[in-house]
Amino acid sequence: MWDFEEVTSEEIAQQRERYEPLTTSVRELIDATLRTEVDDDAVASARADVDAATAKLRFLQRDGALGIGLTPDGETVAWGNVAIGTRNPLAPPLVVEYDSPGRAYLDVELGAAYEGPPGHLHGGYGALVLDHLLGAVASYNNPDTAAATGTISFRYHRLTRLGQLHAEAEIQSTDGRKIIVVGHIADAEGVTVTAEGLFITLRQ
Amino acid sequence: MWDFEEVTSEEIAQQRERYEPLTTSVRELIDATLRTEVDDDAVASARADVDAATAKLRFLQRDGALGIGLTPDGETVAWGNVAIGTRNPLAPPLVVEYDSPGRAYLDVELGAAYEGPPGHLHGGYGALVLDHLLGAVASYNNPDTAAATGTISFRYHRLTRLGQLHAEAEIQSTDGRKIIVVGHIADAEGVTVTAEGLFITLRQ
């Protein structure tokens, strides 16, 4: 179903060493761009630096999206993924940790760049985080397959404060190719959004 | 309920002129960072430019998120919003267009930086786009109020191709403080994700 690109573990390590520090720097720049209050001249000077960097990077570039790499050992790497991609400055990135094959969590700091209501997380970004985490749980339990989201629903109990957040998900039930996963996201004061997803196992 | 910051239309215009071109440049840099294939030396040089820009911008900066500005005329500006913020490099930004008070749409190009499955939009990002659009429709119909998401659900019919996308939403029914909004997102081949949300009107 999905097209993977063949890569080796050595190539992954080399790419990581070459490009991830740049991505980290661009994430810092995103936050600085958003929160800066410097004057016209300083903005113009910073912008010239940014455009110079872009020109250097565009000198040789891939055509289109980065896709997912797959090693002979079955390791995958989703460089450009908007949620977890370690080469994607848009990704926080999320890092999913597994307690067991059917249960996972993540901890992430989401600051000024993830705002919706003043001082709070955009509700849609909470949905993105939970969609990713629930999908990761549904897929992990099936090493030879991937799970696609069929339906997913979210209940917003209250607004989520920007800052350090924690999310959890676990498989509630499995019926043939259907997997139901539930989860939540929480800020320092407790659970703010709950989610339930129905995922469908697809054979690779 | 929400805290707004008082601003004037003149201040909004001035901020826009000063900061939006920088934000546009950083969006270009994000795409270039993701897709570049240049060598170690070129990456190091570009990274030095990025870090220099960050230092200039951090010289004077706001503490925390940007919140939402409100003019005496009732115009609002959500500079830092992760979906629509024109000062937020993470935002595409989405631009919501209203056909009528109860119906809106948006067109947006989402490229390599919004990937989930290879070559396709991250399902969670589709949820973010629809959450924002449905919420905008629910809120617009109530000029003196804001609408908070109560529950929202998504059905994924097939994967959404990266590229030019179109989304629509409209109010299906209103019952007291409850507003039900439905919508969908479509790629060039048609509808890929449908959504239904229940929003609750909050008095300002």
| pTM attached to this predicted model | 0.96
Instruction: Please give, rounded to a whole number of angstroms, the shortest distance from the CA of B145 to a CA of chain A.
Output: 13
Report the complex ipTM. 0.95
Number of structural domains, chain B? 2
DSSP letter string, chain B? ---EEE--HHHHHHHHHHHHHHHHHHHHHHHHHHHB---HHHHHHHHHHHHHHHHHHHTSB-SS---EEE-TTS-EE-TTBTTT-TT-TT------EEEETTEEEEEEEE-GGGBSSTTBB-HHHHHHHHHHHHHHHHHHT-TTEEEEEEEEEEEE-SPPBSEEEEEEEEEEEEETTEEEEEEEEEETTEEEEEEEEEEEEEE-
pLDDT in tens, chain A (204 residues): 577 889 999 999 999 999 999 999 999 999 999 999 999 999 999 999 999 999 999 999 999 999 999 999 888 899 999 999 999 999 999 999 999 989 999 999 999 999 999 999 999 999 999 999 999 999 875 555 678 899 999 999 999 999 999 999 999 999 999 999 999 999 999 999 999 999 998 865
**Does residue B82 sit in the same domain as residue B148?**
no
Q: Do A46 and B64 touch (CB under 8 A)?
A: no
Range of the domain at B138: 94-203
Same domain, yes or no: A131 and A194: yes
Contact B50 A57 (CB under 8 A): no
Q: Which of A26, A57, A91 is the last residue of a domain?
A: A91
Asked if residue B158 and residue B109 are part of one domain, the reply reads yes
Query: Among A54, A64, A152, whose Cβ lies nearest the Cβ of B32?
Result: A54
We report the CATH number of the domain holding residue B135 as: 3.10.129.10
| Nearest CA distance, B104 vs chain A (angstrom) | 17
Domain finish residue from B70, B88, B106: B88
Last residue of a domain, one of B46, B62, B88: B88
The answer to whether the CB atoms of A127 and B122 lie below 8 A apart is no
Contact of A37 with chain B, judged by CB distance below 8 Å, is answered with yes
